[in-house]
Amino acid sequence: MRDTINTAVKAAMKAKESERLATLRLINAAIKDRDIAVRAEGNLDGVSDQDILGILGKMIKQRNDSAKAFHDAGRTELEKQELSEIKVIEEFLPKQLSEDETREAVKSVIDDLGADSIRDMGKVMGALKENYAGQMDFGKAGGVVKALLS
């Protein structure tokens, strides 16, 4: 993942795509920030690709929230900037699961874990985050889990 992002940074520099380059640098900064935190905990390898997917997912969620706030405030130029950053970040994420695919993934994890009550929701969500980082909206998945375990 790091190599892919660094290659994209170099390509954006050569093409003089300043907005894309700024977003890619934000991605690298977020990864490096997390690397520092992980190394402080004793893991000298830094963050894994799975962790990077989580970081990217969090960045998209933050930008969606900001875009909504800017839209509500009538700041369309800032909303457009946030949405363009989302497009750049999404390039590095795997294909997002549809609602049906998310429901099937949740059912599969529930069956694998033998979850049968709402008390197992934490286990199910943990397994989903481990196996589907960057591929699904966990806010929506939480609702599906709750509905299936109730």
Is 97 in contact with 105 (CB distance < 8 Å)? Answer: yes
Domain 99-149 top-level CATH class: mainly alpha
Superfamily for the 2-90 domain = Uncharacterised protein YqeY/AIM41, N-terminal domain (1.10.1510.10)
Residue 34's pLDDT is 92
Query: Is this model's pTM higher than 0.75 or not?
Result: no
Domain boundaries defined on the chain:
2-90, 99-149
pLDDT tens digits, 53-106: 889 988 998 999 999 999 999 999 999 999 999 999 999 988 888 888 989 999
